[in-house]
Structure 1
Amino acid sequence: MPNGRSGRIVRSAAALSLLSVAALPTVLEVASPPPFGTIGAPAPSPDRALPLHGTGGAAPRSPQPAPTVDIRRTGDPADRITLVLIGDGYTADQQELFQEQADRAWHALMEIEPFRSYQGYFNIRRVDVVSPVAGIAESEGQSHRTGTPLGMHFWCDGTARLLCADEPTTARYAGNGDGPQYVIALANSSEYGGAGGTAVTTLAGGSPDAGRIIQHEIGHTVGDLGDEYDSAPDDADYPNLSTVNADEMARTRVKWWRWLGAESPDGGGTVGAYRSANGIYRPTVDSVMRTLGGSYNLPSREAILEQIYRRVGPMDPPEPAAGTVAGRPRLHVRPLPLAGDRQLDVVWKVDGVLTTPQGADPTWLDTSLLQIPSGKDVKVTATVRDTTDWVRDEAFREQRMTRTVTWTLKG
């Protein structure tokens, strides 16, 4: 389930001027990610700190059975993060509409780094919930109990663009996966709205800005990121917000001190400490956590990757299983795949001595080709490491982004 601080949940709902969103591809391959889109950046408005949204004292809704579809499976769900897409306010005749909007949403998420490069770490699952009525509650005076299965509605806690769902019911529809998962609820609405940072990330599936909304909101949910815009709450308890300037950050080695002076990935200058009108410092002049259509700045990318690696490791189980093996088998490690040319590093050692695999694929080692004296037991290790320069915390890299497996070959 999504991360979040104990006793403290934050939702984001930015009321933005709308710009058209370019059509996204309908097929996304791990080996050939789509190019970045060029999208304009409207101006944002504030978040609010809210409690978990439930049923408001009403009895919990009873989910009816709903078809579940594995849209994209990159590996065993126990070893991947699953994004669960659920719709609300889509009738039986509108299920195709929901499916199209759900596809656009997750494609948009996989367009932005670091999700683009690390899309192989995610499975995508869709739950086709049929609503007896079309649409959701959109106006301030409209009842929140519209009869939709997830009870999604705008004007959550009095904020026009804040889009809430009945979280306990939504969680029951999503089900318990075999591994970590994030639930994304799409409302059948063309209004602008969404929320992130709680158990259910929400967006208006029919909004022209839906793709950019999910890029922003998932930053809250997966990366535990705060909003960087001027009118955001003056709360710096996030990896991308600070109460101290760059000099103090460097001196005390807090927050994103490792990134100070690094070039911003969007070409907007260097990472520093830029003060917003609310008195809180942010890492760059602009980012997707400040304006829609931008990029995650470098400290935010690192925060997202760290949260991903807290949930999954860098490799799938090896073949054969680690431990004592007979004979001289071919050993295979299975690093999680990255989209693009860079892949995770694999280093082999035989009795502590570096060994180069014989073939072009570094994930295999044919031990029958090793010069091993007859009758001698030999220890073979393979270390898989993510060497991305998007992470500068080397202690974290060693602890979470590196795995070593060991086989003992019996002589």
Structure 2
Amino acid sequence: MPPGNPGRLVRSLAALVLVSTAVLPAALELAGPPPFGVIGPGAAVDRAVPPHTAQRADLGSAAAAPTVDIRRTGDPANRITLVLLGDGYTADEQDLFRQQADRAWRSLMDIEPFRTYQGFFNIRRVEVVSPVSGIAETEGRGHNATPLGMHFWCEGTARLLCADEAATARYAGDGAGPQYLIALANSAEYGGAGGTGVTTLAGGSPDAGRIIQHEIGHTVGDLGDEYDSAPDDSDYPNLSTLNADDMRKKQAKWWRWLGAESPDGAGTVGAYRSANGLYRPTPDSVMRTLGSAYNLPSREAIIEELYRRVRPTDAPMPPPGEVSGRPRLDVRPLPLAGPRQLRVDWKVDGVPVEPQAADRGWLDTAQLNLAPGRTATVTATVRDTTDWVRDEAFRDRYMTRSVSWTVTG
């Protein structure tokens, strides 16, 4: 599971409240600033709210819950695994959970930058059978009857949907690499949460697909809510107390992006002041209105977090070091969705060479024509050249990898 401050949970609460009034029925609109636990675009409160970990009766063996790898793009040690778990789904409702889980992850992969970087994710489903159908939806009702203990009214906030993080982690199990846990509640109510060890959403809500797009922004990108009534917490990459001029002077926050045109039509990146006094990068985004897109500084923040957990290549074949004969050298860059792929540059003894492979991912050393007994150092450098990242120091450190072989003819 990704590391995180339990206080992030509070910040994510407002996420659900951020849904535009055109989408929300009037009864769901808030008259004032949302309470610190609301699941909307994510409340940006700096209070630490400990996850619900109350001791309760064991409702079944976590080891007995069927686990299904529904999408595998590569080695789990170098992928992020999204683990989808359900709560409040009985044995007869597992088909419903499967359908709602599929809708959730497909909705996530339908928004940039997740669409382009979907090859960085494996997806696993854990079919947790509940003895009862549904979860606690009303204030004051007990919430220990389901395996993951999911319930609304977490910390007194109606739309804040919490789960027992210890129980969820137990059912998810250990993975070979990093994992993000996503818990779906068998409920059609509007709610969710993000920013902690478990991202939650109501699986049966008509807005479930848009909710996960927003909440994952909290969890993966450490993004804050950009709507007017969010708490005035600027401790996020997409929120600031500085105006555009001060950002440039101090080279702070999203200063590299100022003046850039957002590719989603959300306007020019600047410093747009919300009613809570904080500046946001664009007039609108998915962290402000459900169904929108991530603005450019938020895309960059998400991509950077992905690369903090995933290397740009899988293990090269053969392993770097000394090789003999005429082997094929495969650097194995991670695939991207779409025409742009990670750039691969090859050098032999420091001199650039062009591989025969159209995808540039491998080099046939037979083309080097090495004399018997002669050695050469072959180096492959893989680099993500996306213009969605402007921090070149980060690109050099995390988004670039070089490997070398010493080839003997």
Correspondence 1:350-361 to 2 at 5 A: 350-361=348-359
User: AA paired with 1:249?
Assistant: M
Residue 255 of structure 2 corresponds to 257
1:299 is matched with 297
Determine the structure 1 residue equivalent to 2:203. 205
For 1:251 and 1:187, how far apart are their aligned partners in 2? 46
Match of 1:231 in 2: 229
Secondary structure at 2:382 match in 1:
strand
Deviation, structure 1 residue 2: 2.3
Q: How far is the alpha carbon of 1:317 from its aligned partner?
A: 1.0
The root-mean-square deviation of aligned C-alpha atoms, in Å, is: 1.8
Map of 2:108 onto structure 1: 109
The 1-side partners of 2:293 and 2:389 are apart by 16
Distance in 2 (CA, whole Å) between partners of 1:63 and 1:293 is 38
Q: Which letter maps to 2:168?
A: T
Counterpart Cα distance in 2 of 1:206 and 1:9: 21
**TM-score scaled to structure 2, two decimals?**
0.91
What is residue 128 of structure 1 aligned with on the other side? 127
Runs of 4+ more than 6 Å apart: 59-62
Distance change in 2, residues 1:165/1:5 (3 Å): closer
In the aligned structure 1, how far is the partner of 2:161 from the partner of 2:370? Answer: 64
Q: Which digits, 9 at most, give the CA deviation of each residue in 1:296-348, with x for residues without a partner?
A: 00000000000000000011111111110011211111110101111000000
5+ residue gaps, structure 1: 21-42
Distance 2:41 2:399 in 1: 34
Residue pair 2:266, 2:285 contacting (<8 A) in 1 also: no
1:38-57 → structure 2 map (5 Å cutoff):
46=43, 48=45, 49-56=47-54
How far did residue 251 of structure 1 move?
A: 0.7
Query: What is the match of residue 332 of structure 1?
Result: 330
For 1:359 and 1:311, locate their aligned partners in 2 and report how far apart those are by CA, in whole Å.
28
After TM superposition, the structure 1 stretch with the greater mean CA deviation from structure 2, 259-268 or 356-365, is: 356-365
Note if 1:186 corresponds to 2:184: yes
Q: For each residue in 1:337-396, what CA deviation from the matched residue of structure 2 results, as whole angstroms up to 9, or x when unmatched? A: 101111000000000000001242311211112133332211000011100000000010
Shift of 1:141: 2.8
How far residue 60 of structure 1 moved from its aligned partner, in angstroms, is 7.3
Count of residues in Structure 1 that have an aligned counterpart in Structure 2: 388
The range that moved more, 265-274 or 306-315, is 265-274
The aligned residue for residue 26 of structure 1 is none
TM score, norm. by length of structure 1: 0.91
Q: Which residue type is aligned with residue 297 of structure 1?
A: N
User: Which residue is 2:309 aligned to?
Assistant: 311
Q: 1:133-148, aligned counterparts within 5 Å?
A: 133-145=132-144, 147-148=145-146
CA shift, 1:410, in A, is: 1.9
The one-letter code sitting in structure 1 at the alignment partner of 2:81 is T
Amino acid at match of 1:328: R
Structure 2 CA distance for aligned equivalents of residues 84 and 148 of structure 1: 18
Distance 1:50 1:137, change over 3 A: farther
User: SS in structure 1 opposite 2:346?
Assistant: strand
The 1-side partners of 2:55 and 2:375 are apart by: 66
10 and 87 in structure 1: CA distance in 2 versus 1, 3 angstrom threshold? same
Shifted more, 375-384 versus 361-370: the winner is: 361-370
Aligned 1:23-42 pairs, distance under 5 A? none
- Counterpart mapping for 1:80-119 below 5 A: 80-119=79-118
Distance 1:285 1:374 in 2: 65
Q: Which amino acid aligns with 2:249?
A: R
Question: Distance in 1 between the 2:250 and 2:319 partners?
Answer: 45
Long gaps (5+) in structure 2? 25-39
Distance 1:210 1:234 in 2: 27
Distance 1:405 1:109 in 2: 33
One-letter identity of the residue aligned with 1:376: R
More helix by share: 2
Write the letter of the residue equivalent to 1:385.
R
Match of 1:35 in 2: none
Measure the CA separation in 2 of the matches of 1:190 and 1:276.
Answer: 31
